[in-house]
Amino acid sequence: MPYDTPIEEYVELAGGRVHMFRGGTGEPLLFLHAAGGAGTWLEFHGRLADAGFEVLAPDHPGFAKSDDFPLVEAMDDLVYHYLDLLDALRLDRVHLVGASFGGWIAAELAVAASHRLRSVTLLSAAGLRLPDHPVPDLFLMPPTRLAETLYHDPPPAPEGSAAGPDIDAVLAAYRDSTALARFCWAPYLSNPKLERRLHRVSVPALVVAPSDDRLIPVAHARRYAALIPGARFTEVPDSGHAMYFERPAEFAAAVTGFLQSSPSGPSRASRGGSLSGADQ
Amino acid sequence: MKFSFFHLMPYPYLPDDFDTAYDSSALTYPNANFDPKLGSALYARYLDELEYADKLGFDGIAVNEHHQSAYGLMPSPNIMAAALTRRTERARIMVLGNAIGIRGNPLRVAEEIAMLDLLSGGRVDSGFVRGIGWEYFAHSINPTKSRARFDEAHDLIIKAWTSEEMFSWYGANYEYRYVNIWPRPLQSPHPPVYIPGAGSTETMKFCAAHRYTYMSVYAPTRIVRRWFDGYRQAAADLGYVPDPERIAFSVPVYVADTDSRAHAEARPALEWLYHRGLKQTPEMVTPPGYMSPGSLRGVLMSGMQGFRTQSYEDLLAAGQAVVGSPATVAARLRSLYDELGGFGQLIGLFAIGPSTHEQVTRSAELFATEVMPELRPLGVATDATSA
C-alpha cells in the first residue's frame, strides 16, 4: 500500500498561510496540484514518496485549506508565491512536478527560475494558447459533462442526497473554482507569452500526456515538449485528463522513472546564479 | 407612489423545439435564430410602446442592458434612451442600468449618461448594474473581479460627473491620467442613481450609504421582503429612515378588462418570460467569484429554486407577476405593498415575452387610467418617515 501518512502543515508567508502535505524522505519534490486536486493526498502522492522523494504538496492560494492571498492576482504573482514558498521552506533546488493548472505554474516557474529546480515534469499542463487546439470551457460545463471530459472512463455520477446539497461542500467547491478563475478566466488557462519563453528552461524536463485528454488536447503537451530544450515526451494509455486520479500508478511510474534516470546535479546552464536574489 | 414602464425588448420568436434543444436563450443560443427583419420591426414597436407610456402618464420609462440573448435585445441601453429623448416629453428616462461591471471603459458610461441628461433636459435616471452571470462569459470579463470593477467604475463615474477640476485616476482596475468630461450632466449634482439588488448584503449597504434607490429583481415576495428589510436596516445602521421612493419594487404586470381574459393572455407570456427567456444553466447564473461566500450561502439557505420549477400559478402566488382586471391588480399590489413593508416606486414590466402590441398597450392604458390613481397615495414620504 502506498505511503499514506503525510504530515499536514501550514507554512507562513507574508500574505497568509499555505496548507501543505509533506510525506516521504529523499530529494525534495514539489507537487503542484491540478485545479480539481487541492487538499488531497492520494495514491499518486504516496507512490512518489515510496520512490524515495520527500513530497511537498501545497494547496494553491485560495484553494482548499490555503488562505486567499488576495494579492496573488495572476500567474506572475503565483510564480513569486512559489519562490516565496521555496525560500520559506529553505529549499535550494527541488524536483518540480505539476499537473494541468499546476503544470502551467510549473512551466512558468521553470522559465523564471530554473536555478531553483533539479528537474521539471509537466503532466498535461495548461498554459499554452493554441487556437487550433482549444481547451473547452471548464466553467460552463455541468457536472456530468465535466466528468465525461476529464475521464477516459467516467465514474458513475454520485447520487443526489435527499437532504439537498451540502451547503459547506458547495461553498468549498465554489471557493476553489473562484481561485482558479482568478488566474485563468481570460486569457483562458493560458499565457500567450509562455511559448516564446520556454527556451529558458534549463533543467531536465519531462512532458507527460494522457492518451485520451478531452480537456487539454495532446497537441499542447507535444508543443511543450518541442519548445523546452531537451524535453522528453511520453504518453500514458487509457487515461483522461484526470490523470493521477484515473491512473495513479501509471502516472507515478512515468514521473519516478524519469527522475531516477535523469541527472539531478547542477543545472546544465549556469545563468542566473549571480542574479538570483532568491537563492540562499 | 411612482410608476414606471420597463421594457426588456425581448426577441419572442423561439423555435418550437426550444425547450428540448437549448440550454438557454442566452450566451450559447445560436444567433442564426435571430431574424434581423423581425428584429428591426420589434425595435420600432418597442420604442412606440415606451413613448406611449410617456403619453399615458407613467412617471418613468425604463430600458436596460443585456448581451448575447433573446431575453433582451439591448446591448446598449444608452442608444435606446437616446432615441427616447427626442420623442418623449415628460417621463423620466430610466437606464436600469449600464452594466459597469463588464464595461471596458467606465468613463465612456459617464460621458454617455451626461449626453443623455442634456438631450433629455435633465430627465435621465442612471442605474448601475454588475451585469448578470452569463455576461461575464459573453464579454470575457473575469467574474472574480466583478465587485471590485463595479465599485471602482461607480466611484470614477460619480467623480467624473461632479468634479469641476481635471483629475487623475489610479485604481486597481482603471487608470486615467486626464479625467475632464465634456459635457457635464445637467442635473446637479448628477442624475439619480438606481441599483438593483438580488440579496447581496454588500449592495444593500452600498445603496444605503449613498442614498441610492434600491430596486428588486424578480423573486418571491418573502425573499424580496428580506432584501427590502436589509436595505432599511442598512439605512437604520447609518441613522436614517429611507424615503419610500428609494425602494422600488419590480414586477411583471398584466391588466385586461376581466380577470379571465387577463389570465388567458398573461399565462403564455409569463411562461415565456420565466421558463424560456430566463432559461439558464446553474453555471451561467453564478460564474466563479461572481457572488461573495456570504451572499451565496444566503441564496442556498433561502431555498430559492430555479424559475423552471415554478408554474404560472406558483409565480402569481409568489408575487412574481401581477395579473388581472384593474380592480384585481390594484388590490393585489396593495397587498404586496403591505407584505413587502412598503415601497415608493413600482417598476412594471408590461411588455412580457410574446405579448402582442395591442395587448401591451391595452394593459398599460388600463393600468394608467384605473390602477395608478388607486395606488398613487401609497408609498409617499410623510414628515415622520422623510429622511
The whole-chain average pLDDT of chain B stands at 95
Residue of A nearest to B280 (CA): A140
CB B251 within 8 A of CB B332: no
> What pLDDT sits at residue B296?
87
Residue of A nearest to B295 (CA): A171
Asked if pLDDT for residue B377 goes beyond 70, the answer is: yes
> Per the structure block, which three cell numbers stand in for A46?
504516496
Question: CATH second-level architecture of B2-375?
Answer: Alpha-Beta Barrel (3.20)
Asked if pLDDT for residue B384 goes beyond 90, the answer is: no
Asked if pLDDT for residue A265 goes beyond 50, the answer is: no
B189 preceded by cis ω (within 30°)?
yes
> What pLDDT sits at residue A273?
36
Mean pLDDT of B350-370: 98
Q: pLDDT band for position A156 (50/70/90)?
A: confident
Instruction: At A27, give phi and psi (nearest 5°).
Output: -65, 140
Condensed to tens digits (0 to 9), the pLDDT of residues B182-223 reads 999 999 999 999 999 888 888 899 999 999 999 999 999 999
CB spacing of A181 vs B289 below 8 angstroms: yes
A199 within domain boundaries: yes
A173 within domain boundaries: no
Chain A contact set for B300 (CB, 8 A): 165, 167, 170-171
Domains of chain B, residue spans: 2-375
Residue located via cell numbers 435585445: B73
- Best interface-test mutation with B: which of A72, A174, A182, A183 has the largest number of B CBs within 10 A? A174
> What pLDDT sits at residue A277?
35
Mean pLDDT of A55-70: 98
> What pLDDT sits at residue B99?
97
SS3 state of residue A276: coil
pTM: 0.93
Asked if pLDDT for residue B93 goes beyond 60, the answer is: yes
A111 within domain boundaries: yes
High-pLDDT (> 90) share of chain B, %: 91
SS3 state of residue A228: coil
CB spacing of B142 vs A165 below 8 angstroms: no
Distance between CA atoms of B78 and B63, rounded to whole angstroms?
Answer: 8
Distance between CA atoms of B185 and B114, rounded to whole angstroms?
Answer: 4
CB spacing of A174 vs B142 below 8 angstroms: no
CB spacing of A139 vs B137 below 8 angstroms: yes
What are the angstrom distances between the C-alpha of B59 and each of B89, B92, B213, B303? 11, 6, 15, 35
Condensed to tens digits (0 to 9), the pLDDT of residues B230-267 reads 999 999 999 999 999 999 999 999 999 999 999 999 99
B233-252 b/e (C-beta count within 10 Å ≥ 16 → b): ebbeeeeeebbbbbbbbbbb
State the ipTM, two decimals: 0.92
> What pLDDT sits at residue A163?
66
Asked if pLDDT for residue A56 goes beyond 70, the answer is: yes
Distance of CA A262 to the CA centre of its chain: 20
High-pLDDT (> 70) share of chain A, %: 92
Asked if pLDDT for residue A160 goes beyond 70, the answer is: no
Question: The domain that contains A198 carries what CATH number?
Answer: 3.40.50.1820
Q: Which of B293, B24, B276, B252 is nearest to B134 (CA)?
A: B24
Chain B contact set for A181 (CB, 8 A): 142-144, 287-289
Asked if pLDDT for residue B95 goes beyond 70, the answer is: yes
Chain A contact set for B140 (CB, 8 A): 185-186
> What pLDDT sits at residue A161?
63
A267 within domain boundaries: no
CB spacing of A182 vs B281 below 8 angstroms: no
Condensed to tens digits (0 to 9), the pLDDT of residues B127-137 reads 999 999 999 99
CB spacing of B297 vs A175 below 8 angstroms: no
A163 in contact with B, Cβ within 8 Å? no
Chain B contact set for A175 (CB, 8 A): 293
Distance between CA atoms of A74 and A193, rounded to whole angstroms?
Answer: 14
CB spacing of A185 vs B296 below 8 angstroms: no
By residue range, what is the domain housing residue A99? 7-157+185-261
Distance between CA atoms of B20 and B24, rounded to whole angstroms?
Answer: 10
